[in-house]
Structure formats: C-alpha cells, structure tokens
C-alpha cells in the first residue's frame, strides 16, 4: 500500500487548491492510511481525494452517476471517525 505521509499530503493540497489547509495534516494522513488499510485499498491518497474533493474511487465503487453510493458514504464516515478519534476534548 502507498502510505500517505504528512509531507505528501501538504504538497498535494498546495498543488490542488489555493485554499489553506484547515485540518491537522498529521491526523488527516493517519486517518486516510487507516481507512485504506481497513478497506484493502492500495493508495491512501485516493482516500484524501474522496474526502476533500469528492473524487471517485472506481475500484471501491464510491460513486454512481456522480452521487456517493452507500459504500462511498461509509468510507467518508470512516475517515472522519479515524480523524476525530485522535481529537482530545
């Protein structure tokens, strides 16, 4: 599996959008890596693209007619859960 490092995440976000990164890049990279492992996907960067830009992951059937499928919604929610489970309140 291609792991997503914090450095790769920041570089990708800077190249993809002019908006500042509001999330913690360390936790976001960890969440994407965890979700990729759980769902048996070989590239954690695809998880980032799905969550932040709603890009489809064809191998996981995340979209149908440009709408999120149940699988896509579940995947997005799992990345969010992994991200927020590291948050201290």
The model's pLDDT over 15-26, given as tens digits with 9 standing for 90+, comes to 999 999 999 999
Strand-pairing partners, residue 67, are 64
Q: Is residue 89 a part of any domain in this protein?
A: no
Residue 64 is part of which domain span?
6-84
Structure tokens at 13: 């976000």
The number of distinct structural domains making up the chain is 1
pLDDT digits (tens, 9 = 90+) for 40-87: 999 999 999 999 999 999 999 999 998 999 999 999 999 999 999 977
Is the pTM value of this prediction over 0.85? yes
Cα(13)–Cα(52) distance, integer angstroms: 9
% of residues, the chain, pLDDT over 90: 91
In a domain, 1, yes or no: no
């Amino acid at each position: 599996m291609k792991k997503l490092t914090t450095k790769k995440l920041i570089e990708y976000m800077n190249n993809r959008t002019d908006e500042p990164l509001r999330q913690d890049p360390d936790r976001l990279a960890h969440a994407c890596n965890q979700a990729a492992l759980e769902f048996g996907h070989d590239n954690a960067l695809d998880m980032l693209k799905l969550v932040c830009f709603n890009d489809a992951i064809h191998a996981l059937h995340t979209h149908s007619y440009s709408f999120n499928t149940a699988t896509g919604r579940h995947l997005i929610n799992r990345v969010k859960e992994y991200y927020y489970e590291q948050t201290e309140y």
